[in-house]
Amino acid sequence: MSPIQVIKAVRKEILQGCKIVFSRVFPNNTRPQKQMVWKMAEYLGAVCSTDVDSSVTHVVTVDLGTEKARWGVANKKFLVHPRWIEAANFRWHRQPEEDFPVTAPKEKSRGKNNAVAGKKETSKDKENAAAGQKETRKDKEENDVSSQKETRNVETKVAGHANENVVATSTTGPADS
C-alpha cells in the first residue's frame, strides 16, 4: 500500500459510522454534495445525506430552529456545529460532540444591547461612542496632515538630489574624445 493510500485509509476512519445530515449550512441555490464541508465529512469516512431517517447520527447546523434540527433533538441525535467536522479534519481525530454545540439564535430586542454586559445601551454609552468617533476623526485628520508633511519632505529631498545630479553633470561636462 502506498503512503497516500495509507493516509486516505486512516482519514476514512475518523468519522466512520457517522451519518450526517446538514441543515442551513449551505446556500439554497447550491448542490450540497459540491460544498467543502460535505466533501470533508466524506473524506473523513462519514456518510452524508440530504434527508433525515432513523440511521442519521448527526445533524450539522448553525440554527436550532430548522425542521431538521428540531427532528434531531426529538430523536436524540447529535446536534453539532459545522466546526465539528473541520476540527476532526484538522486534528485527525473525531472530536467530542459536546465541544461543538449549536447555540440558540440571539433574540432581537428593540433597544441596542451593550455587547460587554448584555445590558441596554444608555445615553452615556452613546456619548462615549460619539466621543470615540470624534477622536477617531481628529486622529485621522492629524495623521493626514503629518502624512502630507512627510510627503513634502520626501519630495524636497528627491528634488534636491535631482538638482545635485544636474549640477554635478553640468560641471563635469562632456568627455573629450
DSSP string, the chain: --HHHHHHHHHHHHTTT-EEEEESSS-TTS-GGGSHHHHHHHHTT-EEESS--TT--EEEES-TTSHHHHHHHHTT-EEE-THHHHHHHHHTSPPPGGGSPPPPPPPP-SSPBPTTT-PBPPHHHHHHHHHHHHHHHHHHHHHHHHHHHHHHHHHHHHHHHHHHHHHHHHHH-PPP-
* 136-172 pLDDT, tens digit each: 454 445 555 544 544 454 444 444 444 444 443 334 4
Whole-number pLDDT of residue 142? 53
Q: Per the structure block, which three cell numbers stand in for 23?
A: 441543515
Per-residue pLDDT for 114 more than 80? no
Per-residue pLDDT for 6 more than 60? yes
Distance CA 177, CA 88 (A): 78
Read off the pTM.
0.60
Spans of all domains in the chain? 3-99, 119-170
Superfamily (CATH) of domain 3-99: BRCT domain (3.40.50.10190)
C-alpha dihedral, 59 to 13 to 41 to 98, nearest 10°: 40
CA distances from 137 to 57, 69, 131, 133, 140 (A): 54, 46, 10, 6, 5
Distance CA 127, CA 92 (A): 50
Confidence band (pLDDT; 50, 70, 90) for 56?
A: very high
Mean pLDDT for the stretch of residues 67-88: 97
